[in-house]
Structure 1
C-alpha cells in the first residue's frame, strides 16, 4: 500500500504569515517614530549661550531667556565670551551695551541654533530699542555658506560603513575569508574617508579644516560602523547585520544631528544620537572641519569604542569558527602495521 502525502500545514503557514505581517508593520511604525518624533519635537533645547555686559542687563537677559530653550552663562568681558565660543563651550552669545547689542555666533556649530539665537537677539533688541550687530566667528565656507556639503555627508558615511560589510561578506564568505574581510573593511574605510574629504574640501569647497586630519576622522567613522556591522554579521549572520543596519538607519541617521547640530534635538534623542556611529562621526567631522579639532576628543573616543566592539565580535566569531573547523575535521584513521 502506498501512503498518501501529508496534508499541508495551513495553520503553521498562517501563523508564519501573521508573524511576518506584524513584524513588518512594527518596522514601519519604528521608522515613523524614529524619523518623525525628533522632527516634531525639534527646536532649541538647552542651547548653551553666553552674555556679558552690565550686571543688571545680563541678569535681565538671563531671566528673559530662562526656560528649556537656552542655557545662559555670564562672562566677565567680550574677549572671554568670544574665547568660549571658539572653544565650543557655548554656541554663541551677546555683548550688552547701552543702546546696542553685539551678537556672536558660530554657524558651523549648528545653523538652526544660530538662526534661533539671532532671532532671539533681534527680538530682545527690538524690545529695548537697541541696535544689533551680528558677527559669525565660525561660518561655513564662502563656497558653501549654507553648509549643504556637511549635511550631505551623512548618508555617504553611513553607506560607507554598510556596503563594505555586506559586500565583503559575500565575496569572501566563511571562516576562510575572515582575514580578507577584515583587511578589506579597514582598507576601504581608509580610502573612502580620504576620497570623501577630498570631494567635500576641494571639489565643493564645503570644508575648511586640515585635509589630512579631516580625512582620518572620516575614515575612523566609516571603520567604526563597518567593523561593527562586520562583527555582527560574522557572529550572527545576516540577521545580525540586518539588526545593526536597522539601528543605524532608523536611529543613527535621523538622530545624528549633522545638519542641525545636536542641540536642535530633544535632549534624550540627542544623547542617543551622539553615542551611535553616525552622530559621533558627524560631530568629529564638524570639529575637524571648522573648529581646528576643538571638541573632537569625545566623538573620537566613541568611535574608538565602536571599533573595539566590532573587533571583539569578529574575534569571538573567529574563535567559534576555529572550534567548528576542528570539530568537522575527520579523525585520523589508524594505520595497519
Structure 2
C-alpha cells in the first residue's frame, strides 16, 4: 500500500503540472487572439484630425455632418492653409468646398485607411451637392511602392531586430562579465541593421522617400530601444525578464503600433498605449522621416530615447549588483 501511495504521489504532481501547462498555454493563445483580433475589429477613424475650407455655410454643414467620435474637424481660411496643414501633419487630410466642386486633400503615406475614408466622405458630400469631386494626394507613397507594402513590412525587422540580438547576445556573453559586451553588441547591431534595412527599403525596393541618413538613424533608434530594454530585463531578471519583454512587444506593441494604418485608426486608449511602446513609436518615427521630412518626429524620438535610457538603467543596476556579488567576502576570524 505504501509503495502504491508513493507511486501515486509523483503521478498526481505530474498531472497537476501538466494541467497548469496546458491551461497556461491555452490562455496565452487566447491572449494572442484578443491582442490581434480586437484592434482589427474595432479599427476605424477615431478622432481622426481633418480640415475643411470653403464658404461658411458649406463648411458648417460639413463640420456638422462629420461631428462625432470618428472625426476631429478644423476649419481653415483657404485651400493654401488646408494644404499646408496636411503637409505639416496638423491634420490627416481635408476637404475644400467650392461652388460645383469638392476637393479632397489626402496624405496616403500618413495613413492609407484615413486617406480612403476622407476620399469616401468627400465623394458622399459631392453627391449630396451634385458637384464634381477631385482627390489630390499631397503625401503619397513612392512610385515604386504606391501601396506602401515595403513600409508596412518594416515592422518585422524592427521588432525582431530588437528581439533576436538580445537573446543571442545573452546566450553568447553570459553573466556579469559579459554585460558590457552584450550592451556594446546590441548598440552596434542596431546601428548596422538600421542602416542596412533602410538601404534595402529605400534603394532596393524604393519604398521609402526621405533623407537616408536621418531615416537610418531613426530606424536604428527604434531597434536600439527594443534591444537595450530586452537586454536590461534579461540582465536583471534573467530569461524570465526577456520573456516578459517579448510578450509585451508581441502581444501589445505589435498590434497596437498602428504601423501600417497610423494611430488614428485605433481607439483612443489603445492608440495612445501603442505609441508609448517601442514598435508604435518606431513606426511613427519612420513615417515622419521617410515621407514628411521629419515633421512630427519629436514625440517618437523622446519615447524611444526613454526606452533606451530605461534599458540602460536596468543594465546599470544589474552591473552594480554583479560587481557587489563578485567582491570576495573577508575571511572569518572567529
Same fold (TM over 0.5): yes
Per the alignment, in what secondary structure is the counterpart of residue 93 of structure 1? strand
> In 1, Cα distance between the equivalents of 2:26 and 2:37?
16
Aligned twin of 1:46: 47
Post-superposition shift, 1:95?
Answer: 1.0
Aligned twin of 1:124: 125
- Aligned ranges 1:45-64 → 2 under 5 Å: 45-64=46-65
Aligned twin of 2:227: 226
Aligned twin of 1:247: 248
Computed over aligned residues only, the root mean square deviation of the Cα atoms, in angstroms, reads 1.7
Per the alignment, in what secondary structure is the counterpart of residue 139 of structure 2? coil
> In 1, Cα distance between the equivalents of 2:20 and 2:146?
49
- Aligned ranges 1:21-170 → 2 under 5 Å: 21-170=22-171
Aligned twin of 1:278: 279
Which is worse superposed, 315-324 or 8-17?
A: 8-17
> In 1, Cα distance between the equivalents of 2:185 and 2:331?
36
Post-superposition shift, 1:17?
Answer: 2.2
Aligned twin of 2:204: 203
Moved over 3 A (4+): 3-8, 329-334
Provide Cα deviations, 1:260-306, integer angstroms capped at 9, x if missing partner.
11111111111111110000000000000000000000000000000
Aligned twin of 1:173: 174
Post-superposition shift, 1:69?
Answer: 1.3
- The answer to whether the aligner puts 1:323 opposite 2:324 as a matched pair is yes
> In 2, Cα distance between the equivalents of 1:167 and 1:244?
15
Aligned residues: 330
Aligned twin of 2:261: 260
Aligned twin of 1:15: 16
Post-superposition shift, 1:322?
Answer: 1.1
Per the alignment, in what secondary structure is the counterpart of residue 102 of structure 2? strand
Provide Cα deviations, 1:16-50, integer angstroms capped at 9, x if missing partner.
22222222121111101100000001111111000
> In 2, Cα distance between the equivalents of 1:91 and 1:17?
51
> In 2, Cα distance between the equivalents of 1:195 and 1:260?
24
Per the alignment, in what secondary structure is the counterpart of residue 232 of structure 1? helix
Provide Cα deviations, 1:217-243, integer angstroms capped at 9, x if missing partner.
000000000000000000111100001
> In 2, Cα distance between the equivalents of 1:62 and 1:302?
33
Which is worse superposed, 201-210 or 258-267?
A: 258-267
> In 1, Cα distance between the equivalents of 2:35 and 2:124?
33
> In 2, Cα distance between the equivalents of 1:333 and 1:266?
63
Post-superposition shift, 1:6?
Answer: 5.6
